[in-house]
Amino acid sequence: MTLFLDRDGVVNVRTPNDYVKTPDAWIPTAGLDEALRILSAHFQRIVVVTNQAGIGKGLMNEADLAAVHAKMFRVATAAGGRIDRAYHCPHRSDAGCSCRKPATGMAWLAMIDFPEIDFSQAWMVGDSASDMLFGQKLGMRTVLIAGKTEEAVALAALSVDFRFASLLDFARFFNAC
């Protein structure tokens, strides 16, 4: 099984109306260490898929994002868990690309790197409507993490498989099944 994770709001604390542009600004969500330990024991692959329009807007560059992700990988490993790879879309929302969620390009890139991925056996955990639509387009189980208040109405109307307050809550639920 493969676990797809959104980054901001799931793996790290969101910065509403801004971007995580430096490693110092990347703050893990509460319980991330325990969540990754649990999930790493159950999933063959764990990948992050994240829209990073700050690059397309010129607010950060690929090197900045690589430094942020290096910290994310270090934190995951130090916690006894793992994230196998991170994929990102650097484009603005108006770019019309095939990689910005809810488009599925990042999932197909993951499948190139990890051909054993079976979307029908995969899970998508995210905090936005675009995350849930991404997972649904690919036939994944979807898990909505609460917290994105600016999308509250849209998120309330979404049909998703599970809703949790945090990645840790999902991990504990999954571990108990």
113 a catalytic residue: no
The C-alpha torsion from 46 through 15 and 9 to 133, rounded to 10°, is -90
Element (H, E) at 86: strand 85-89
8 a catalytic residue: yes
Here the tokens at position 137 are 């387009």
Q: Are 141 and 123 in contact (CB under 8 A)?
A: yes
Please, which residues have CB within 8 angstroms of residue 96's CB and are 6 or more apart in sequence?
none
Residue with tokens 């868990």: 81
| HSE toward the beta carbon, residue 92, CA cutoff 13 A | 6
Query: Of 6, 64, 127, 131, which one is the catalytic site residue?
Result: 6
Please, which residues have CB within 8 angstroms of residue 128's CB and are 6 or more apart in sequence?
6, 9, 101, 148, 151, 155
Q: Are 132 and 160 in contact (CB under 8 A)?
A: yes
List the catalytic residues: 6, 8
